[in-house]
Amino acid sequence: MKNRRDFIKKTVGASAALCCGVSALSFLQSCTGSKYISTKVVNGEVRILKSEFVENVYLVVETDKLPYPLYLYKNEIGEYSSFLMLCTHSNCELSATSKSLICPCHGSEFSVKGEVTQGPAERDLNSFVCRQTETEIIIELKK
């Protein structure tokens, strides 16, 4: 009987430690700050080195031409998407996380795909086409 009790105690303790570890890791990953990149628009394009994504799933890209930054996201299969960080409700700059974009003005939220997930905004974010080469992501600003 004592062995069974010890086994349960150790198993529950190990499970709790594992869960806390995973939760703490998720929490820390979601709390890591945004990585900012400043770059220039050349011929209507923004080029970002893929190496900037080594420890990040998204970047906040500030340019010399756009009044608001771009959110550049890399999904789990290596595709990139980019959105203007401007709320479609009433033009406030959005805050970025690895899971969503949040408007500090009235609380709208957008997915990392730029879709409205919570109003009052009703329109998805303005998106840009992303291409990639072996080493770069190219955001096309021309529509």
Closest by alpha carbon to 73, among 47, 36, 54, 98?
98
User: Is residue 85 a contact residue for ligand FES (CB under 6 A)?
Assistant: no
Asked if 103 is part of the footprint of ligand FES (rule: CB under 6 A), the reply reads yes
CA nearest neighbour of 141 among 76, 37, 69, 59: 69
Binding status of residue 102 toward ligand FES by CB under 6 A: no
101 makes contact with ligand FES (CB under 6 A): no
**H or E element at residue 34:** none
Binding flag, residue 105, ligand FES (CB under 6 A): yes
Q: Which CB sits closer to ligand FES, 46 or 87? A: 87
Q: Is 118 in the site for ligand FES (CB under 6 A)?
A: no
CB of residue 138 to ligand FES, shortest distance in Å: 29
DSSP state of 42: B
The Cα-based distances of 35 to 22, 52, 130 in angstroms read 23, 9, 19
Element (H, E) at 57: none
From candidates 41, 57, 66, 92, binder to ligand FES by CB under 6 A? 92
Give the residues across from 48 on adjacent strands: 137
The stretch among 48-56, 57-65, 84-92, 125-133 that binds ligand FES (CB under 6 A) is: 84-92
Size of residue set near ligand FES by CB under 6 A: 11
Q: Rule CB under 6 A: is residue 108 a binding residue for ligand FES?
A: yes
Give residues with Cβ within 8 angstroms of 53, minimum separation 6: 59, 74
Q: Which residues bind ligand FES (CB under 6 A)?
A: 87, 89-90, 92, 103, 105-108, 120-121
